[in-house]
Amino acid sequence: MNIGLEQIEMHLEAGQLVRLYDPVGTRLQCVRGALWITQHKDRVDHFLAAGDALTLDRPGLALIHAQAHSEFVLHEPAPQISLRTRIVNALAAALRATGRWVARRFGPEAVAHHQFRGWHGAL
The predicted-structure confidence for 19-78, as pLDDT tens digits, reads as follows 999 898 899 999 999 999 999 999 999 999 999 999 999 999 999 999 999 999 999 876
pLDDT > 70? residue 121: no
Q: Alpha carbon of 60 to those of 22, 24, 38, 88, 103: distances in Å?
A: 5, 8, 11, 30, 52
Secondary structure class of 80 (helix, strand, coil): coil
Instruction: Classify residue 34 as exposed, middle or buried by CB count within 10 Å of its CB (0-12, 13-18, 19+).
Output: middle
Distance CA 10, CA 82 (A): 31
pTM above 0.75, yes or no: no
Higher pLDDT, 118 or 107: 107
Element (H, E) at 57: none
pLDDT in tens, 71-111: 999 998 766 778 888 888 888 888 888 888 777 777 776 66
